[in-house]
Amino acid sequence: MTLSKESRTRHRRLGVGAAAAGLLAALLTVAPASATPDPGDGPAARHPVSKSEAAGAKSAVAAGEIPGQDEIVHSRNIEHLANIPKDALAGFNSDLAFQGKYAYAGNYDGFRIFDISNPKAPKTVSQVLCPGSQNDISVSGDLLFLSTDSSRSDNSCASTAQPATEKSSWEGMKIFDISDKRNPRYVAAVETACGSHTHTLVPERKNVYIYVSSYSPSASFPDCQPPHDGISVIKVPRKAPEKAAVVGFPVLFPGEGADGGGNPGAPTNPGVSKTTGCHDLTVLPSKDLAAGACMGDGILFSIKDPEHPKVIDQVEDNVNFAFWHSATFNQKADKVVFTDELGGGGAATCNAAIGPNRGADGIYDIVGRGDHRKLVFRGYYKIPRHQADTENCVAHNGSLIPVKGKDLMVQAWYQGGVSVWDFTDSARPKEIAWFERGPVSTDVLQVGGAWSAYYYNGYIYSNDILKGFDVLKLDDRRTDSARRVHLPELNVQSQPDYFD
- Distance (Å, whole) CA 161 – CA 209: 28
| 30 confidence band (pLDDT: 50, 70, 90) | very low
pLDDT score, position 45: 64
Q: Quick one: average pLDDT of 273-293? A: 96
pLDDT of residue 28: 42
Facing residues of 249 across strands? none
* Whole-number average pLDDT of the chain: 91
| pLDDT surpasses 90 at 17 | no
Q: What is the pLDDT of residue 29?
A: 39
Give the model confidence (pLDDT) of 108-158 as tens digits.
999 999 999 999 999 999 999 999 999 999 999 999 999 999 999 999 999
pLDDT tens-place string over residues 89-102: 999 999 999 999 99
* Residue 380 neighbours by CB under 8 Å, 6+ apart: 320, 356, 357, 360, 361, 362, 363, 429
pLDDT class for 200, splitting at 50, 70, 90?
very high
Report the pLDDT averaged over residues 396-417.
98
pLDDT tens digit sequence for 331-380: 999 999 999 999 999 999 999 999 999 999 999 999 999 999 999 999 99
Query: For residues 296 and 315, what is the distance between their CA atoms, to the nearest angstrom?
Result: 9
d(CA 349, CA 414): 11
pLDDT band at 41 (very low <50, low <70, confident <90, very high): low
Q: What pTM did the predictor assign? A: 0.93
Of the candidates 447, 384, 400, the residue with the CA atom closest to the CA atom of residue 39: 447
pLDDT class of 26 with cuts at 50, 70, 90: very low
Predicted confidence (pLDDT) at residue 261 exceeds the cutoff of 90: no
Cα separation, 188 vs 338, whole angstroms: 32
| Whole-number percent of the chain with pLDDT over 70 | 91
**In angstroms, rounded to a whole number, what is the distance separating the alpha carbons of residues 249 and 446?**
37
Where residue 38 falls among pLDDT bands split at 50, 70, 90?
confident
Q: Tell whether the model's pLDDT for residue 4 goes beyond 50.
A: no
The answer, yes or no, to whether the previous bond of 496 is cis (omega within 30 of 0) is: no
| Cα distance between residue 388 and residue 386, in whole Å | 7
pLDDT confidence of residue 259:
72
For position 106, what pLDDT does the model report?
98
The pLDDT tens digits for 268-280 are 999 999 999 999 9
- Flag whether pLDDT at 8 surpasses 80: no
Q: What is the rounded CA–CA span in Å between residue 476 and residue 473?
A: 10
